[in-house]
Amino acid sequence: ELALLNGDTDVLQLLQIWYPHIPHNVNAAVDASLQFYRLGRPALTEESGHDPIIRRQERAYDFDQDADILLSSFWQAYGIDLTSIYLHWWTFRRLMFGLPEDSGFMRRVHYRTADLKGLPKNQKKYYERMRKLYALKRGSAEDRISLEERNRRMRSYVSRRFEEVQHQLGQG
């Protein structure tokens, strides 16, 4: 079964981490996986507001692009070497957003998400320069879709691939 799924890395690998066998109700599995990512909290909708940590809709961090500064920020703030220790995801996320404001990682998040309205002209210019310096790379249109749309596409994709794999296993 896993050999058939190896070509589709994103969602299916994620589900394989949490489930020894891909569940029959793939949508529920994806929902549970996303809820785990959100530290057990329910999904935020347009009506309910946004993540309290991230005040803007844009991405505030990228684990690939910010890996080095995140590693050094954890080392400086907590004495934790993330390359040699296991942390539960929820612990990691709480520590990540509990990093001191003056840590390199949180400074980058701040520059990317700060509301610039009402700032003096010279300070606003500085923030715009920092935003450009620390801008997240935009790989595709996927980066610009809403969370709800991304989740809908993810569920659809996983359901479709699950049906394909079930069909292939039935013919094998």
The structural domains of the chain, with segments of one domain joined by +, span 1-46+146-172, 55-145
More confident residue, 143 or 68: 68
Task: Supply the pLDDT for residue 58.
Answer: 65
Asked if pLDDT for residue 21 goes beyond 70, the answer is yes
Instruction: Look up the pTM and report it.
Output: 0.57
Q: What percent of the chain has pLDDT over 90?
A: 37
Over residues 118-171, the pLDDT tens digits come to: 999 999 999 999 999 999 987 555 555 666 777 777 777 777 777 777 777 776
CA-wise closest residue to 101 among 111, 90, 91, 115? 111
